[in-house]
Amino acid sequence: MAEFRTRLKELRAARNMKQEELAELVGVRRETIIRLEKGLYNPSLKLAVDIARVFGCTVEEVFIFDYDE
Amino acid sequence: MTSNEKMQKLAQRYHNKSLSRAERREAYKALELERYRADKRKPISLRLYTFFWSVVELVLGVFWLLSGVGIKITLPTSFDDIIGEYIWVPTFSIAIICVILNLNYKKPLKDELSSQNMAKANLAGFIIGLAVLWIARIAYFMFSGNNTLVLSDIASERLLLGLFAFIRSIIGFVFIILDFKDTLSGADDDCVEAE
């Protein structure tokens, strides 16, 4: 079982970026960013890559899956 | 690169015959996004847009359904006559409002979450819509007593159109509820204070 969490809010805060701005950059609505930040939504690979590119990180640095050993 | 050149490039990519289905879908999404960005009309939120269309479809659906069933009420002025005679009034006014709205506002983009919510809303809306119609039917047979209401000729095409519009409106309302929940839960989560 893997627990899904994101560092989206933290990365966004570090760049002083609003949810709306991030949404605009990756071509989604603010509601999608809200759900992503809360870890309630698994993004498509394309969206994950787009978001990672905005922050200049890898996908694994933004979206984290904690696996129970 | 200007927006026009970008769109031309994306359109060329989209029409490329060697693309796989997934690649074509991605190319189409990119093209739609670019078109949306280039559109000079005012933006409107997807929720407001869906709400507007749901209200339109609800009004039209109810009118078409009533006129399609052709319920006669044994009153001095028949309800059916009023509906039949004046059905063009809401239909025509709504058509004008739709044209005005579409001229002034650009159609909002759907993203992957809204598509997912719409898929959920389609199922729920279809079930709820049919349930409402069944309840209305049961209520009609329970309370009409065949003395006050008489079913006259049934116009199938109006009935079908009405049913279609009514169920679509319910789907729209369910979508708004699903979508609204997301915004409420993260309304005060923005890290940056509004200027």
Q: Are B7 and B34 in contact (CB under 8 A)?
A: yes
**B148 vs B48, residue with greater confidence:** B48
Query: pLDDT tens digits for B53-96?
Result: 898 888 888 887 777 766 554 445 555 566 666 667 777 788 88
Q: Is the ipTM of this complex over 0.85?
A: no
Q: How far apart are the first and last CA of chain A?
A: 9
Beta strands in A1-69 (DSSP E): 2-6, 63-67
Greatest Cα-to-Cα distance within chain A, rounded to the nearest angstrom: 38
- DSSP-derived pairing of the beta strands B149-151 and B71-73: antiparallel
Across the interface, whether the CB atoms of A32 and B111 are under 8 A apart is answered yes
Domain boundaries, chain A: 2-67
Fold for the domain defined by A2-67 = 434 Repressor (Amino-terminal Domain) (1.10.260)
pLDDT tens-digit map of B107-133: 888 888 888 889 999 999 889 888 888
| DSSP per position, B137-161 | HHHHHHHHTTTSEEE----HHHHHH
> Which residues in chain A have Cβ-Cβ distances shorter than 8 Å to B112?
28, 32, 43-44, 47
pLDDT at B40 over 50: yes
pLDDT at position A12 is 92
The dihedral sign for the CA sequence B8, A29, B39, B95? positive
**List of residues 6+ apart from B4 with CB closer than 8 A:** B38
Which of B33, B46, B112 lies nearest to residue A47, judging by beta carbons? B112
List CB contacts (< 8 A) between A17 and chain B.
191-192
